[in-house]
């Protein structure tokens, strides 16, 4: 299953946004959403998560849906067009269309007492096809969404029950708030180990061994770190210094990435079954050949630039049939992109759009400075105010140097500035 189109209208700060993959393009890959703080990146991820969870299970979120409506609007709309895959099985009898079109509305409801409320609804043919596909009970239809707070612990324990009571909402819970921890992935790995100890030939043991071999062989973790052991109470990493460290005690970057990957694998076994995941996990080529959609908000959070450079390419290589839709503030994340989308600054009259042509090439193939030069990350962000003042001083001294008018003190200052601003010293006109 893939997203062919996502249209969001009047959701929080978003007036209108459309994500569309053309019919001559691959849906799988790394699709990046850019925008300033408050532009609506999180709202896009949450809108997608809401559509996948469906109106029925969204009630468990206990959200005040009026907060999703901009001032002066009584209705918000989310349209989701999907393409079904070969492993996606429809629930119930009826025609199995390859294209799925679902409309979600958030609308204000007037009440005679207690004040107005807003509710999430879906109607007509879209509701029927949704209940037979992404909101149904049959195998396939894999999707997951992750918010920027990706960690193993520290969540609201009262929300843990939703992982069991709301199977369609559970894969998207963390996208809706920072009070959800991804603890289920660790519990799942420990459960696999327990089953393996009980029966060495159990399917859980085969999956666990293959998963560890896959993670270590794919060289996801930096500095040669590896997943060393899984026990009934912990997962431990062998770090670059040779220390054995519990994964929940690793740095934020490790926890952010591993909590998400463990959860993706756990959810895939829920959608496809363990046998299907095992048969689709190619340890030799370090890839899992199953399709689906994964949305990640602020994917660069806690990641060192060297890991940001690697993360998109790693996901594309190891999950070649997954469609990743991610938001970021980092130009480095764009280097692995198959498409890039821009949300305008809050309060501007610009329209959201797909970035193409030379601008896209500068983001994907250019240097960091090339990317910042596109102004998708703000204007004049590459230098501090102090640096700009030094640059002006350097220009003045360069001109005096060409005229042979520098004093001994000014010559020393010119050398200091040229050393401090090496790129500027070669470009400042004399």
Q: Where are the domains of the chain?
A: 1-180+291-382, 182-286, 385-425
Supply the pTM of this predicted model: 0.88
Residues near 272 by Cβ (< 8 Å), separated by ≥ 6? 87, 139, 140, 142, 280, 290
Give the range with max mean pLDDT: 91-100, 198-207, 317-326, 401-410.
317-326
pLDDT at 430: 46
Higher-pLDDT residue of 422, 153: 153
CA–CA gap between residue 216 and residue 225 (Å, rounded): 8
- Residue 394: per-residue pLDDT: 83
Report pLDDT digits (tens) over 40-68. 999 999 999 999 999 999 999 989 999 99
Alpha carbons 294 and 263: distance in angstroms, whole number: 11
Phi, psi for residue 321 in degrees, rounded to 5: -110, 10
Q: Please report which confidence band the pLDDT of residue 429 belongs to, taking 50, 70 and 90 as the band edges.
A: very low
Least confident of 8-17, 298-307, 317-326: 298-307
Mean pLDDT confidence for 6-24: 95
pLDDT computed for residue 293 by the predictor? 98
**pLDDT above 80 for 111:** no
- Encode pLDDT of 332-390 as tens digits: 999 999 999 999 988 888 999 999 999 999 999 988 878 887 888 866 666 667 767 77
The CATH code belonging to domain 1-180+291-382 is 3.40.50.300
User: Residues 396, 401, 406, 408: what is their CA dihedral angle, to the nearest 10 degrees?
Assistant: 110
């Amino acid at each position: 299953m893939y997203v062919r189109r996502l249209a969001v209208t009047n959701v929080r700060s978003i007036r209108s946004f459309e994500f569309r993959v053309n019919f001559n393009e691959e849906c799988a890959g790394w699709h990046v959403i850019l925008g300033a703080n408050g532009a609506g990146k999180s709202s896009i991820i949450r809108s997608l998560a809401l559509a996948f969870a469906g109106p029925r299970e969204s009630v468990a979120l206990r959200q005040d849906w009026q907060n999703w409506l901009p001032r002066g609007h009584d209705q918000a709309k989310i349209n989701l067009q999907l393409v079904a895959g070969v492993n996606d099985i429809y629930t119930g009898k009826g025609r199995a269309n390859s294209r799925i079109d679902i409309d979600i509305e958030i609308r204000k409801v007037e009440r005679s007492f207690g004040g107005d409320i807003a509710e999430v609804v879906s109607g007509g043919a879209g509701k029927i096809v949704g209940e037979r596909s992404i909101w149904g009970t049959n195998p396939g239809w894999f999707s997951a969404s992750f918010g920027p707070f990706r960690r193993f612990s520290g969540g609201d324990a009262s929300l843990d029950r939703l992982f069991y009571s709301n199977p369609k909402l559970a894969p998207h819970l963390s996208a809706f708030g920072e009070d959800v921890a991804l603890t289920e992935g660790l519990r799942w790995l420990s459960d696999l180990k327990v089953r393996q100890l009980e029966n060495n030939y159990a399917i859980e043991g085969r999956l666990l061994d293959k998963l560890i071999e896959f993670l270590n062989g794919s060289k996801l973790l930096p500095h040669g770190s590896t997943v060393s052991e899984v026990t009934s109470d912990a997962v431990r990493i062998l770090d670059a210094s040779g220390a054995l460290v519990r994964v929940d005690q690793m740095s934020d970057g490790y926890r952010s990435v591993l909590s998400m990957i463990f959860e993706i694998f756990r959810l895939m076994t829920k959608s496809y079954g363990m046998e299907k995941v095992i048969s689709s996990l190619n340890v030799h080529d370090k890839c899992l050949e199953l399709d689906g959609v994964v949305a990640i908000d602020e994917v660069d959070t806690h990641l060192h630039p060297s890991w940001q450079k690697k993360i998109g390419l790693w996901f594309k290589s190891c999950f070649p049939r997954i469609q990743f839709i991610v938001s970021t503030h980092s130009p480095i994340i764009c280097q692995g992109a198959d498409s890039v989308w821009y949300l305008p600054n809050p309060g501007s009259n610009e329209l959201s759009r797909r970035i193409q042509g030379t601008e896209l090439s500068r983001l994907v193939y250019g240097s960091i400075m090339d990317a910042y030069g596109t102004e998708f990350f703000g204007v004049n962000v590459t230098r501090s105010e102090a640096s700009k003042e030094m640059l002006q001083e350097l220009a003045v001294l360069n001109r005096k140097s060409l005229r042979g008018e520098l004093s001994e003190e000014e010559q020393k200052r010119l050398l200091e500035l040229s050393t401090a601003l090496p790129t500027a010293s070669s470009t400042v006109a004399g």
